[in-house]
Amino acid sequence: MLQNAYVASNIHPRPQAEPPPFWLRPRAPQLACLAPADRMKVRGTIYAQEDPATFVYQVVVGMVRTVYVNRDGWRVVRDFHVPGDVFGFENAGIHTCSAEALGDVHVFRSERNSVEASAATDQSVAHSLWGWLLAAGNRAECLSLLGRASALEKLAYFLSDVADRMGATRRLELPMSRFDIGDYLGLSSETVSRTFTVLRGRGLIATEGRFVLLLNREALRQLGRELAVSAFNQKENGNAPNGDELRGVLPLQSRGMAART
């Protein structure tokens, strides 16, 4: 089976701050266990867009944003990577986006060639690779669904998602700016700011500088829940109607939201 092959991978307990540590979460085997890797501290740009894709990275401490800027100067934040996430894999010889550390970040760095060579001989490494690729694909699919959502849903999903991936239950650090969040969600920074205000006004969150207090985690999750692909939350499997039966009959902007001002 492909889907959980990477769960039972090598475990190397290591002291760290955030609960739970990333190696206790699924989908996060340590890169250092799969190929020769350097542990290093980085600041600022890790690699630039269109640099040769020589290395593959895994976040150990901190957060990394990947940014894509197209020829017209249009900026998109592709993703925010938290401890355990692997980034830098490309299907071409060059990086399609730059990677930039948000503050001080510790990463594992491996040569891409050695990872691929290792995957060619060691099947567990290959399975880890598949897991990462499929996970990245699914994350991208989720993000593509974000395009249909309202600002409130987008931000609620963002906060829930980051909190889940960081393993944060109540207090969440957001080291990125409102511009970053906007460029990630496809919103203007003003709308992000306004939406924070709405969530604050509804008592779902509180803000303390760059920290966010999640006052009502469940309500946040509900607001953003529709954006998660079912593969991610397979707890409940409702009936699945044929696609044709629902073709276009449902509004895109108001699909049963809890409350819209």
Which residues contact DNA by CB under 7 A? Answer: 150-152, 177-179, 182, 186-194, 196-197, 207, 209, 247, 251-254, 260-261
Which helix (H) or strand (E) segment holds residue 121: the answer is helix 112-121
Q: What b/e string do you get for 25-44 counting C-beta neighbours within 10 Å, with b at 16 or more? A: eebbbbbbbbbebeeeebee
CB of 19 to a second copy, least distance (A): 26
Query: Is the four-CA dihedral 188, 189, 194, 196 of positive or negative sign?
Result: positive
Residue 100, interface with a second copy (CB under 8 A)? yes
Q: Identify what 164 binds: DNA, a second copy, none; CB under 5 to 8 Å per kind.
A: none
What does the block give as tokens for 176? 């990125």
First to last CA, the chain: 46
Quick one: 86 or 146, whose CB is closer to DNA? 146
Does 28 bind a second copy (CB under 8 A)? Our answer is no
Q: Which does 242 bind (CB under 5 to 8 A by kind): a second copy, DNA, none?
A: a second copy
* In the complex, minimum distance from the CB of residue 13 to a second copy, in angstroms, rounded to a whole number: 26
Q: Is 121 exposed, middle or buried (0-12, 13-18, 19+ CB in 10 A)?
A: exposed
Q: Pick what 17 binds: DNA, a second copy, none; C-beta below 5 to 8 Å, kind-dependent.
A: none
- Among DNA, a second copy, none, what binds residue 246 when CB lies within 5 to 8 Å by partner kind? a second copy
Residue from the set 244, 259, 260, 261 that interacts with a second copy by CB under 8 A:
244
Positions 215 through 234 that interact with a second copy (CB under 8 A) = 226, 229-231, 234
Q: Does 131 bind a second copy (CB under 8 A)?
A: yes
Site for a second copy, residues 155 to 194, rule: CB under 8 A: 177-180, 182-183, 186-189
* DSSP state for residue 135 in the 8-state scheme: H
CB neighbourhood size of 61 (10 A): 17
74 binds, among DNA, a second copy, none (CB under 5 to 8 A by kind): a second copy
Contact status: 40 vs a second copy (CB under 8 A): no
Give phi and psi for 137, each to the nearest 5: -60, -45
Quick one: CA dihedral 241, 243, 245, 246, positive or negative? positive
